[in-house]
């Protein structure tokens, strides 16, 4: 059976996998725009979030009520809220990055406070790298916002973050643990 906008909901309820392909083909641009508005990091993050959105549509299709809104509006709402949840999860993970991964491998001579851990770790970075790390990992500012504040491209910010992480890993994590 050919899937159209008129029967995509019913075909999804019937668990016709071709309905997902139709959703991607017909609404993929909309879903992409919504997800990328909330997730500015990497292609991998975007793809993972899109997978979550499609899975949510598949599993929750019975909750769709055409009397409340259109199918397009419904999947757009799912995409928006999944992307927001995904972004929040990523921010929590970023904030735990320095204290979890790097702090565990700091000097094991005597216990020191987490703030001292972060200060010691960031002391190994240049002043620009340090400012970017503090904004991104500790304050939760998006890379796009940092780029606007510093009048540079977002890709430059990602490059600085990546190189900074690599530098810190080389300093604090023995090669046999990487």
Residue 109 has pLDDT above 50, yes or no: no
Residue 155's domain spans which residues?
Answer: 106-177
Residue 61 has pLDDT above 80, yes or no: yes
The domain tally of the chain equals 2
- Residue 100 belongs to some domain of the structure: no
Structure tokens at 143: 């890379």
- Residue 2 belongs to some domain of the structure: no
Structure confidence at residue 107 (pLDDT):
45
Same domain for 21 and 79, yes or no, is: yes
Same domain for 84 and 14, yes or no, is: yes
Structure confidence at residue 122 (pLDDT):
82
Asked if residues 156 and 144 have their Cβ atoms less than 8 Å apart, the reply is no
The more confident residue out of 45 and 152 is 152
Supply the pTM of this predicted model.
0.53
Same domain for 73 and 110, yes or no, is: no
- Residue 115 belongs to some domain of the structure: yes
C-alpha to C-alpha distance for 178 and 159, rounded to whole angstroms: 20
Same domain for 114 and 60, yes or no, is: no
C-alpha to C-alpha distance for 173 and 107, rounded to whole angstroms: 11
Task: Pick from 20-34, 80-94, 116-130 the range whose average pLDDT is largest.
Answer: 20-34
Structure confidence at residue 75 (pLDDT):
92
């Amino acid at each position: 059976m050919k899937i159209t906008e008129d029967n995509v909901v019913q075909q999804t309820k019937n668990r016709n996998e071709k309905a997902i392909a139709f959703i991607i083909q017909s609404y993929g641009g909309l879903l992409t725009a919504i997800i990328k508005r909330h997730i500015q990091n990497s292609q991998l993050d975007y793809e993972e979030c899109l997978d979550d959105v499609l899975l949510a549509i598949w599993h929750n299709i019975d909750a769709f009520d055409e009397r409340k809104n259109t199918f397009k509006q419904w999947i757009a709402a799912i995409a928006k809220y999944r992307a927001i949840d995904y972004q929040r999860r990523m921010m929590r993970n970023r904030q735990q990055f320095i204290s979890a991964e790097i702090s565990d491998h700091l000097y094991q001579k005597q216990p020191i406070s987490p703030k001292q851990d972060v200060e010691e770790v960031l002391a190994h970075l240049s002043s620009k790298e340090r400012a970017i790390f503090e904004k991104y990992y500790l304050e939760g500012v998006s890379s796009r916002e940092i780029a606007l504040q510093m009048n540079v491209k977002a890709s430059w910010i990602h490059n600085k973050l990546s190189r900074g992480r690599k530098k810190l890993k080389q300093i604090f994590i023995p090669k046999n643990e990487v």
